[in-house]
Structure 1
Amino acid sequence: MPTHALAVTDAGDGLTRLAPTDAASAARLRDLVEDSIAMIEQRLKDAGVTLASVQPEGTDRIRIFLPGMMEPERITAIFARKVKVSFRLIDVTMSAEQAQSGTPPAGTEVMFGFKDKLPYLVKASALDGDDISYAGPGFTSDTKEPIASFRFNGRGTRRFAHITAENVGMPFAIALDDKVISSPVIREPITGGSVQISGNFTLEEANSVAMLLRAGSLPGRLGPVEQQVIQPAAKP
């Protein structure tokens, strides 16, 4: 946090108190509302809900208008869902097609690709998304292909470095819920904590993937304040 965003006061007994300024708190709340609106819009789109209007209301509320939606409990379930991000090694002892028609190795399961729809035989999660500290869309430096990139925190960086060092030459899957969004081969230990995901994404898809990586759950803790179902007026 920038130093100008903190108020410094004397707490007595040789102690100094640091607290966010009112301006910094207001800016943080605005950012939280904006991120929440973006995530809500993406969740609605992924659920096939169209014609939705999501707008800020006041400083700390969001109004969602859903024309034609007569199932408010369905919308509540959409927002309650937490997206699970996982990093899984791919089992190469058997093809995914063989696993589908036979008995897969213990501790594995078949997942399908986000775009290619192909089956992948993956092992149990080696690392989850709780240690992701940043994610955003971008472009490759050579082909300018849209990508999603992310960065681990200190703990995630150490764990990912260990996993990649132990499995050089092996493919691994980056999955959102039960969909594999990328399946790169580990070429060398990744020790810096920064990762790029490519998958023939459009820019919109790269932004969507980055958003889900950045906030598996909604950025802020949201709760319903008011809910109304408005019936169309009968014609006279």
Structure 2
Amino acid sequence: MLQIDSWKRVLIWLTVVVGMVLALPNGFYTRVETHNDAVKALEDGGAAPGLEDQVALWPSWLPSGLVNLGLDLRGGAHLLAEVKVEDVYKARIKSMWPEIRDMLREERATIGTIRLQPSAEDMLKIKISKAEQVQEAAGLVRGLSRPVVSLTGAGASDIEVSVDGDQVVVQLSEAEKVATDDRTVRQALEIIRNRIDEVGTREPTIQRQGAKRILIQVPGIGSAGELKRIIGTTAQLTFQPVVTRTTDETTRVGAGEELLPDRNDKDVFYVLESAPVVTGEDLVDAQPSFDQNGLPAVTFRFDPSGARRFGDYTAENIGNPFAIVLDGKVVSAPTIQSHIPGGSGIITGRFTLEESTELAVLLRAGALPAGLTFEEERTIGPELGADSIEAGKIACIVAFVGVLIFMFLSYGTFGLFANIALIVNVGLIFGLLSLIGATLTLPGIAGIVLTIGMAVDANVLVFERIREELKTAKGPARAIDLGYEKALSAIIDANITTFITAVILYAVGSGPVRGFSITLGIGILTSVFTAIFVTRLIVVMWFERRRPKTLEV
């Protein structure tokens, strides 16, 4: 019979109330956003005047989650960057030389002396004085190889060692290059996310596109140039032994050495050993501070492994200069005065306060493993976003009003019930979007407009089925009961196929496509809930109150 248990009624109305309360903050968007920013500032230790007043703009006992506005609605910056993975090949090969050199020197009695020869940047060529022992030397180097850490390169070695006359040639294997590409892009993705999060930007979109590209969209930021400044600095920090200091930029360097300029004095250059003792990857913390003269500087601290290497090197090289290199320029080259065992130190180099703060942020977020090439950049002004919001708002209102009028004219009182469920449906969509912290884009608005049109489909199926049952001379209660029962399978089937489409769009799509699929998928779930449960409950409550002898559907 036409009845719903009391506990089910309570559960349905409780779900509706919770959804509407979660959606409520979006009706006071600017006020709640100001409140949230002030709360975060206080949690971070902010003490600016007026923060308490801003917090009071919204009651703390109410939800304060908002549907975040995407790039096309808020305005901001869009970048498409390609990771230069070839940089990593060069760094990997360069870092192998000290280990290979030390190992071959121990076998000097067998293979003779060794000398690093000029070669391409992604390979090592090592000349063996006893040419007849070159195969023996190659075998020793092969012993340093390691398995490739990836599913596709299982069983392969990370280096390829070959012989060319009296030279041993070392380079990365193809399997290792493929694995390195994947690791490098993943690492760059995470570091870019860390850097953007450090500056406190709201709801950025940072995702991989293809094999080597990264899409970066940050709403609310001033320009693409500002975004590039945040993420475009590689901030690769190394500590390298100094061979000599010179003022001649044409100074020839030997194999395993490089000539780098001084960061502050364009006329000074340093010849350094290419292989660093420690790198920025060994850092666990970096903070802006001041040196003993009161000038801006950056203090740093290494992890245990980096601290041990740093301490061992300073103990063995007291009196020798030691270069601190940032992005290919020597920041400073102090002389080691004593053993530094703690793994901490300070970087000075005539920084401004802003530069030292920015450098600390970059070092703390991590060094990009490779450089970035920006292939596409756009700045979207907030005015365009405001226009998009206004256009989306008009589209939603027109669709909403049109559906409400159509349903009332077509089904009378029952159409009015469907309209109430439709209003609840839209509230539930925004409540769920706020709950999961989703970002609403212009395609997302299109998904909501489409959902408004589709939301009444289930009610149309039910109402038409009730009409059919009334024609067979069944009573009103039985007609309503059979109408919902027999239309249920059609409602489920129709919505499942659309929901599967939304899931596929989310899985294989990106950016705007995902925004559309999220609102469409959530809209389908709320539409089924309101059609099967909310509308039915309203009809049952109306029928229990009126007890009509006939129905006008």
TM-score by length of 1: 0.60
- 1:83 & 1:216 partners in 2: Cα distance? 8
Which secondary structure does the structure 2 equivalent of 1:158 belong to? helix
Query: 1:144 aligned to 2:294?
Result: yes
- 2:333 & 2:307 partners in 1: Cα distance? 19
Unaligned stretches of 5+ residues in structure 1: 1-26, 41-53, 219-226
- 1:121 & 1:202 partners in 2: Cα distance? 27
Offset, 1:150: 0.2
Show the counterpart of 2:337: 187
- The counterpart of 1:131, out of the listed 264, 279, 282, is 282
- 1:128 & 1:108 partners in 2: Cα distance? 17
TM-score by length of 2: 0.28
- 2:360 & 2:344 partners in 1: Cα distance? 13
Contact 2:284 2:301 in 1 (8 A): yes
- Residue by residue over 1:155-175, the C-alpha shift from the partner in whole angstroms, topping out at 9 and shown as x without a partner, is 111010011111111111111
- 2:228 & 2:297 partners in 1: Cα distance? 31
Matches within 5 A, 1:64-213: 65-67=221-223, 79=231, 82-92=234-244, 95-98=245-248, 100-117=249-266, 118-124=268-274, 125-140=276-291, 142-213=292-363
* Code of the aligned partner of 1:63: P
- 1:145 & 1:192 partners in 2: Cα distance? 23
* Code of the aligned partner of 1:85: L
- 2:198 & 2:325 partners in 1: Cα distance? 18
**Structure 1 229/193 Cα, relative in aligned 2: closer, same or farther at 3 Å?**
closer
- Residue by residue over 1:17-65, the C-alpha shift from the partner in whole angstroms, topping out at 9 and shown as x without a partner, is xxxxxxxxxx9xx98999633767xxxxxxxxxxxxx84149x994254
**Structure 1 147/78 Cα, relative in aligned 2: closer, same or farther at 3 Å?**
closer
Higher gyration radius (CA): 2
Show the counterpart of 2:24: none
- 2:271 & 2:343 partners in 1: Cα distance? 25
Share of identical aligned residues, percent? 34
- 1:132 & 1:145 partners in 2: Cα distance? 22
- Residue by residue over 1:123-168, the C-alpha shift from the partner in whole angstroms, topping out at 9 and shown as x without a partner, is 122211111011001123x432221100011111101001111111
- The counterpart of 2:202, out of the listed 56, 60, 78, is 56
- 2:303 & 2:236 partners in 1: Cα distance? 17
Aligned residues: 175
- Residue by residue over 1:183-222, the C-alpha shift from the partner in whole angstroms, topping out at 9 and shown as x without a partner, is 111101110111011222221122122223222347xxxx
Offset, 1:116: 2.4
**Structure 1 199/77 Cα, relative in aligned 2: closer, same or farther at 3 Å?**
closer
